[in-house]
Amino acid sequence: MNILLLGYGKMGQLIDQLATEAGHQIVGKISIDNRVELDKLDTSLVDVAIDFSQPEAAVDNIKWCIDHEIPVAVGTTGWLERREEVNSYCNEKSGTYLYASNFSIGVNLFFKLNKQLAILMNNQKQYSVKTKEIHHTQKLDAPSGTSITIAEGIIKELDNKTSWVNQEASLPNELEIISERVDPAPGTHEVSYSSTVDTIEIKHTAHSREGFAKGAIAVAQWLKDQKGVKSMEDFLQFD
């Protein structure tokens, strides 16, 4: 598989290492410092792109890939206010892209577990719910894209929650997300339901970035043979 890397920070470099070790070819490494190299790239050599760039570059990168008929797996967060625009662009141009707030297989299983727990807790009004995430201090966005996905899963299933806030909740309909930035911390996400008599908690802790990178490579390999706007649920074949 020939991979174009859009963004060459810590994640891009790790994907480069792991993909090369697995026998794949990296045909381009684009960062903010050399984006002009895209104009010189022979796109016929590219099977798929993986984007771990910056929020301000993500939309342009996705549209560039769509325009050049290159499927792109996007792990960049912080641009989702334009997601509907990008979805429409992809569909209009018959392109292919997949956005995931987190490519870790374990995290995506956690997303599914989170939704199922919220369904079970919807009629248990004696419990209050809150969420927490811990990341390294270089993490640019707060809350993380993963935390937002977790919050959206809860809000979808709990009748008494309609929005999330990145602080302690002050209104009954608000879902609390507490964000902490501590080094070193690849990523920890917690959801807790508390009553006067007990607490139910689910938690995912990443031990390194390797799970994210390996997941992105696996998704990219699958995505190169797909069409349209895809999701991790499509990749994992969740019902």
Could you give the residue numbers annotated as active site? 135, 139
- C-alpha 47/C-alpha 175 separation (Å) is 41
Sheet of strand 188-194: strand arrangement: 163-165, 174-181, 128-135, 188-194, 199-205
- C-alpha 51/C-alpha 15 separation (Å) is 11
- C-alpha 61/C-alpha 195 separation (Å) is 46
- C-alpha 119/C-alpha 157 separation (Å) is 5
Sheet of strand 228-230: strand arrangement: 25-30, 2-6, 48-51, 72-74, 96-99, 228-230
CB 78 within 8 A of CB 140: yes
